[in-house]
Structure 1
Amino acid sequence: MSDNLFPDVSAFLRDRGWSLVRENTSGADLWSLTDRVQMYLPHVITRGSFEWSDITERIASAHDERPSTVAREIDFVRYDVARFRVDNDGLSDRTISLESGATVVSSAFGMLRAAATSARRPRQSIGSNYSKLGDGIAREARLGHTEPGSFVFPVALKVSTTEQETLGSLPGTVFDTATPESPERRVTRTLAQAISALDKHVLKPGLEPRMRDLTPVVIAGGTKELLAHLTRTVADPDISWLETGFSWAPIEAVSPSVPKAVTVPADAEARELMSRAVRLLSSPKTDPLRVVTGPIIHIGHTPGDPFGEVGIQSPSPSGSRYGRVEVTVRQEQLSQIHHWMDQGTTVVVYGVVEHRPGRPARLKDPAELQALEDTLPGT
């Protein structure tokens, strides 16, 4: 990462509600929080410099906070943070049993590692087939200090920089593109959406799950392994619930539909439901169709053509570079698809994937896209 903190501070200001009033190529931009609160932001900011101290003090004054708090939040501008928060069953909020704490931390890593593999392609069970690229991302995660109150274990994952693709121009075709999702964001998002899908389709209904109830969980990124680690945590006798909360790196846009927090109860009924789900996902299953999930990163359409082309970001099976699967869609769906791309919504599509040497993979037939949260209605 560059020593220049200008991009980080800019992202922080946007996240806190500031607006860029005037860009100045000569060395500083003018930002505004209100008509009476404005600040010039130099294009070069070095930690520990006079500019750094002045900026953190001005921001802190505007938000009635301490400069040290502002500086710490800017430090995490490039990090997605998953907070695993547990209740310690009425014990002192200053301690938790060492065994329980070890269970939470171990299970948190296991869930993140499973999500890093299922983020590359939804699957029911991983077995020994963990993704090496996914494991590399999971190993980059950092464990922060616990936070006051019930025990909180923050797991921070630094997002990398991605750039928009440069698409070749075709006469008469209109293209729209979006910045691809970073591989680290895809992992954290998958973890959040998988736990949320489990809560929506298994825990909240409170009925013995069937395989069809678990389909949206698998599509969202849930696997036997992820659910097994989650079940292990809530089975601890000193834990009465587990809350997974997510805060998203301001340096990278995130869809408003992505979950912010999910609480999993640790009562006997919830444990049994999750144990049953783990047993179901352990059964072998062959999927005749490929499920493709991810954000939309490009749309192409020729005026008057009844079909358009959509590119869904999907990790390349042969490398760390992000890839895409191209899908032909009907013209009447393009308005909704543009909205999903603008919002960064995760979409889902089913089909037979055709691999083309030197070119992006493609679904063989026109297909209907759905937002992930709409793939199957709640019970």
Structure 2
Amino acid sequence: METAELRQRHVELFRTWLMDSGWTLRSQGPLGELLELNDVTVAIPRTLGQDAIVAQGVASRVAQAMGRSSKDVLKRLLSPLTDRIELRLIGTALPSGRVPLGAATEALRNGRRMISASGTSAITPGWSVARRYRPEAQALARDAELAHTEDGSFVFPLYITLERAEDSTLVYDPDSVIPEPFERRVTRTLATALATTVSLTHAPIDELSNADLDDASSVGVSKELCDSLHQVMKSPTVEEVEFNFEWSPAFGKTETFPGSVNVERASRPQLLSLAKRLSRPEPLHSAVYSGPILEIGRGDEGAFFFVLDTYFRERKTRMRVALSEEQHDEAISWYRNRATVLVQGDAKQFKSELLMDAPGRIDAWSQTLF
């Protein structure tokens, strides 16, 4: 392990991850900090980024306190620009640490397919991906890292590296709003799509309107995603699939993102019905946009607005949306919490961004929205 890899920014992000995971600050001094979790105290020295041996020791103690593997915690320290996705297979017939090979094959194959579908939906949302898989989405799914499964359960830990470009110039500032990279857009889309799909299966599928499906597809729900969820539970030994997400803190708050999504075997008929409803190859109408807010405020003439980080015609773009005072006040918390926002209306191209003067609908995504 090279000490050069332990840049100070990594240490700051590691500390933020610990605080987000439940650790609290017990004391602070010139040599570093003491963090506490469940009556266990761990020292985080200020020289952590300068000594590989000290870093390994800290990772080991943190892992023991959290009941995690040392390798996983050390990866959080060395590679903080990663989102972690757990795909957990659950079933009373599954022996500890073992699963039928067929079920494991379906989990891996469809896990990769869900990432590819979400990456495509992040750029060109539609009811069905069909043959429109984006090459960058397929490359991201191919490059996702699979870690060792855990004892006592059968878990596929997947890591998505954010800002994969070697010449990345990202400078982390916890008080600024940073445009999220494509990789974060994909993991965000996957999480919101999974949670939305589960919400949709709680109601009769044939009673969903086309507008409901448009809204759901704008945050990543697709025929392919539903098909993949259906296939993951193909083996009768798999009674439930649990997705757990751990988000890198490098791009601001993540409290509004789904942390865990459970899909029960009983929902398979609903998933199949939803997939059939979504069997439409055309891309989603461009009047529906989604993404986090990059900027919010009042213009020179006193009009309220926010700027949405979204996609238009397969290209990442900024969309300036006119707001009423009430909408502005409501959107402040969405901006602060990096929420996924849905906007519906006609937008016009103006120079390098889109303008929407009269939005028909503005909502923040939540697991109760659908």
- TM-score norm. by structure 2 comes to 0.81
Q: Does 1:253 align with 2:252?
A: yes
- CA 1:311–1:196 in 2, change beyond 3 Å: closer, same or farther? same
Q: Does 1:296 align with 2:293?
A: yes
Query: Hey, what's the Cα distance between the residues in 1 that align with 2:66 and 2:236?
Result: 42
Superposition deviation, residue 140 in structure 1: 2.4
Asked if structure 2 preserves the Cα contact closer than 8 Å seen for 1:208 and 1:273, the reply is no
Query: Hey, what's the Cα distance between the residues in 2 that align with 1:245 and 1:113?
Result: 18
The DSSP-based 3-state class of the residue aligned with 1:148 is coil
Q: Which of 350, 356, 369 pairs up with 1:356?
A: 350
Query: Hey, what's the Cα distance between the residues in 2 that align with 1:266 and 1:339?
Result: 36
Query: Hey, what's the Cα distance between the residues in 2 that align with 1:198 and 1:180?
Result: 26
- CA 1:62–1:207 in 2, change beyond 3 Å: closer, same or farther? closer
Asked if structure 2 preserves the Cα contact closer than 8 Å seen for 1:177 and 1:298, the reply is no
The DSSP-based 3-state class of the residue aligned with 2:157 is strand
The DSSP-based 3-state class of the residue aligned with 2:178 is coil
Q: Which of 189, 203, 206 pairs up with 1:205?
A: 203
Q: Which of 5, 10, 22 pairs up with 1:8?
A: 10
Superposition deviation, residue 76 in structure 1: 5.0
- CA 1:43–1:360 in 2, change beyond 3 Å: closer, same or farther? farther
Asked if structure 2 preserves the Cα contact closer than 8 Å seen for 1:84 and 1:244, the reply is yes
Q: Where in structure 2 are the equivalents of 1:97-116 lying within 5 Å?
A: 97-116=100-119
**Partner of 1:273 in structure 2?**
270
Give the AA of the match of 2:307. G
Q: Which of 77, 89, 97 pairs up with 1:86?
A: 89
Superposition deviation, residue 145 in structure 1: 1.4
Asked if structure 1 preserves the Cα contact closer than 8 Å seen for 2:84 and 2:159, the reply is yes
Q: Where in structure 2 are the equivalents of 1:139-154 lying within 5 Å?
A: 139-154=142-157
Query: Hey, what's the Cα distance between the residues in 2 that align with 1:94 and 1:43?
Result: 34
Asked if structure 2 preserves the Cα contact closer than 8 Å seen for 1:29 and 1:43, the reply is no
Give the AA of the match of 2:257. V
Asked if structure 2 preserves the Cα contact closer than 8 Å seen for 1:211 and 1:280, the reply is no
Query: Hey, what's the Cα distance between the residues in 1 that align with 2:47 and 2:194?
Result: 41
The DSSP-based 3-state class of the residue aligned with 1:119 is helix
Give the AA of the match of 1:360. E
Superposition deviation, residue 111 in structure 1: 0.5
**Partner of 1:370 in structure 2?**
363
Q: Where in structure 2 are the equivalents of 1:322-337 lying within 5 Å?
A: 322-337=316-331
**Partner of 2:192 in structure 1?**
193
| RMSD, aligned CA | 3.5
**Partner of 1:168 in structure 2?**
none
The DSSP-based 3-state class of the residue aligned with 2:304 is strand
Give the AA of the match of 1:97. P
Superposition deviation, residue 309 in structure 1: 2.6
Query: Hey, what's the Cα distance between the residues in 1 that align with 2:92 and 2:66?
Result: 36
Give the AA of the match of 1:347. V
- CA 1:73–1:100 in 2, change beyond 3 Å: closer, same or farther? same
- CA 1:209–1:273 in 2, change beyond 3 Å: closer, same or farther? farther
List alignment gaps of at least 5 residues for structure 1: 165-175
State the identity %: 24
- CA 1:368–1:163 in 2, change beyond 3 Å: closer, same or farther? farther
Give the AA of the match of 1:94. G
Give the AA of the match of 2:309. Q
- CA 1:252–1:372 in 2, change beyond 3 Å: closer, same or farther? same
Deviations 1:199-224 (A, max 9, x none): 1121x336655344534431221111
Superposition deviation, residue 90 in structure 1: 0.8
Query: Hey, what's the Cα distance between the residues in 2 that align with 1:76 and 1:29?
Result: 24
Deviations 1:87-107 (A, max 9, x none): 255132232221211111000
The DSSP-based 3-state class of the residue aligned with 2:258 is coil
Asked if structure 1 preserves the Cα contact closer than 8 Å seen for 2:27 and 2:34, the reply is yes
Q: Which of 306, 309, 318 pairs up with 1:313?
A: 309
Give the AA of the match of 1:342. R
Query: Hey, what's the Cα distance between the residues in 1 that align with 2:222 and 2:73?
Result: 38
The DSSP-based 3-state class of the residue aligned with 2:270 is helix
Further displaced range: 93-102 or 59-68: 59-68
Superposition deviation, residue 113 in structure 1: 0.5
Asked if structure 1 preserves the Cα contact closer than 8 Å seen for 2:6 and 2:78, the reply is no
Asked if structure 2 preserves the Cα contact closer than 8 Å seen for 1:329 and 1:367, the reply is no
Q: Where in structure 2 are the equivalents of 1:224-263 lying within 5 Å?
A: 224-263=223-262
Query: Hey, what's the Cα distance between the residues in 2 that align with 1:66 and 1:287?
Result: 42
Asked if structure 2 preserves the Cα contact closer than 8 Å seen for 1:20 and 1:30, the reply is no
